[in-house]
Amino acid sequence: MQSITRMQFKIPTPIQAQAIPPALLGKDVLGTAQTGTGKTLCYGIACLNKLLTDKSSGALIVCPTRELAVQVGEVLTGLIEPKMNIKSATLIGGESIQKQLRQLRRRPRLIIGTPGRLNDHLQRKSLRLNETYFLVLDETDRMLDMGFTPQIEQILKYVPKRHQTLLFSATLPQNIIRIAERYLNEPVRIRVGSTTTPITKIKQEIIQVSEGDKYNVLLNQLHSRKGSILLFVKTKRNADKMVEKLRKDGHSCDCMHGNLRQSKRQRTLIAFRSEKVRILVSTELAARGLDVPSIQHVINYHLPQVPEDFIHRIGRTARAGAEGCALTFITPNDRQMWNEIQRLINPNAKKEFNTFKKSNHRNKKNKFSRFRQRGNSENKSFKKNYFDRPKDYDQSKGKKRFSFKSDRSDNDQSRGKKRFSFKSDRSDNDQSRGKKGFSFKSDRSDNDQSRGKKRFSFKSDSFKNRKKSKNSFKLKKQGHNRRGKNRAF
């Protein structure tokens, strides 16, 4: 209680008020609540109580990302007082494994880590979980989305069968229900609020913009807003490019994504929390579990790939009862994803932005728009309008026409238009212009042969004059059989 008072926790949140009592009694808990409602402190208090009451017990907390594991470690380290004599170790990827081995030699009772690095230490036999009687799976839905299901099952093989498990998740899909049925023993189901509804204190804003004007609109929004801003983009490359552009425009910003080293990611996060950096550009890496109280604005420059991630993105602001703002840019290509997000938040909501047209999208209804009826022929049928036009209809407007040579006027020849006709219909002027023609050999003049043109003719007319070349192709029966013998089956 002294450590809770020292950290100025006075009034518990709804999830804390409902989940802490059964957890203190040693029961398994399956809890779902909105992001930013204090789930970390919920299982942290129960974990420390277990370690204090059972001196021979250990605890393991599994987190999906390195940043969340470090954040949980900092929160629990703040709750631990020196007289408790509880040592902890944070095992995450991207850090020196020798440093982690030195921590494990101290025999810590509280282990916090990510699935990949925990399995590495289990294979090295530097980590033992045979006395771990308290297990926490935090942000379980995120771990399963990242493909950590085999690693989690491998970790649970080293944990004693009789242990207490606390499973917390922002959403509850079917794969989490199957894991709960398999590894939890009669869990207490706790659900606080809607997991698909954003916090009411988040002010949501939407801007419809084209892809070309998006960056200019972003600059205007950054100049008009005050406070720390978390900017979400789609890919790691987009994050690097965005930081380069914003720095050229005089903004204090940095990026955080999976391609950076852990030390760089940690320094960036510390600088953002201390408000040395105003704008943090990130991918989905910062959408889960990141607790920065100073974030006042969340901007979705690109929509997420999964509708559920939108709830977690905007949940980075308005945490612990504070107020915040979430701005989303929507382009014509985002209409389908935005409608899915709206259906997730409000299933009864109607589709929005159906008037958007995707770029490079053809309207099939206007496929034959070039044959539209014009003039006084609006009430006539299509065929009658098109084929009953006067011959000089298109000539006055200079439009291209397809017709036989007999219908064309002499003015067409003077303009040098390309024509399709039979050789017998062509005039001598066509040959003088050097136009290519298609005709039978009997129709060709002697002038064509003098010009060295290629001719098309039947074999019966040219067979006698044709000379056989030395390299003419002949199908030899013996050569064919010999090649077949060399084939390997």
Cα–Cα distance for residue pair 282/269, rounded to 1 Å: 11
Amino acid 361: pLDDT: 44
Residue among 338, 30, 14, 294 nearest 170 (CA) = 30
Q: Which residue is associated with the tokens 């001196």? A: 55
Token readout for 122 is 């289990």
Residue 6, SS3?
helix
129-133, 195-199, 253-257, 388-392: least confident range: 388-392
Q: Are 279 and 253 in contact (CB under 8 A)?
A: yes
Amino acid 345: pLDDT: 86
Q: Are 160 and 91 in contact (CB under 8 A)?
A: no
The mean pLDDT value for 25-39 works out to 86
Q: 87: left (phi > 0), else alpha (psi -120 to 50), else beta? A: beta
Where does the pLDDT of residue 251 fall: very low under 50, low under 70, confident under 90, or very high at 90 and above? very high
Cα–Cα distance for residue pair 49/52, rounded to 1 Å: 5
Q: What is the pTM of this model?
A: 0.65
Amino acid 367: pLDDT: 45
Q: Any alpha helices (H) in 369-488, and if so which ranges?
A: 382-387, 410-414, 428-432, 446-450, 459-462, 477-485
Is the pLDDT reported for residue 308 higher than 50? yes
Domains and CATH numbers, the chain: 2-192 (3.40.50.300), 202-345 (3.40.50.300), 362-418 (no CATH)
Cα–Cα distance for residue pair 307/342, rounded to 1 Å: 9
Task: Tell me how far CA of residue 35 lies from CA of 32, 287, 293, 315, in angstroms.
Answer: 9, 10, 13, 6
Cα–Cα distance for residue pair 96/88, rounded to 1 Å: 17
Cα–Cα distance for residue pair 227/224, rounded to 1 Å: 10
The mean pLDDT value for 216-223 works out to 96
Task: Tell me how far CA of residue 133 lies from CA of 158, 177, 190, 285, 324, in angstroms.
Answer: 11, 22, 21, 30, 39
Q: Are 15 and 190 in contact (CB under 8 A)?
A: yes
Is the pLDDT reported for residue 394 higher than 60? no
* β-bridge mates for residue 297, sequence order: 229, 325
pLDDT mean across residues, the chain: 78
Q: What is the full DSSP assignment across 314-327?
A: HTTSS-TT--EEEE
The mean pLDDT value for 362-388 works out to 47
Amino acid 351: pLDDT: 61
Q: How many angstroms from the chain centroid is the CA of residue 270?
A: 26
CA-based end-to-end distance of the chain: 80
Q: How many angstroms from the chain centroid is the CA of residue 211?
A: 17
Q: Are 256 and 278 in contact (CB under 8 A)?
A: no
Amino acid 175: pLDDT: 83
Which position has the higher pLDDT, 197 or 223? 223
- Write the DSSP symbol of residue 86: -
Cα–Cα distance for residue pair 467/442, rounded to 1 Å: 21
| Percentage of residues of the chain with pLDDT beyond 70 | 69
Q: What is the rounded radius of gyration, in angstroms, for the C-alpha atoms of the chain? A: 37
Cα–Cα distance for residue pair 202/42, rounded to 1 Å: 23
Q: Are 115 and 151 in contact (CB under 8 A)?
A: yes
282-286, 287-291, 388-392, 410-414: least confident range: 410-414
Amino acid 298: pLDDT: 96
Which amino acid appears at position 224 of this protein?
S
326-340, 341-355, 457-471: least confident range: 457-471
Amino acid 362: pLDDT: 46
Is the pLDDT reported for residue 358 higher than 50? no
Strands 279-282 and 228-232: parallel
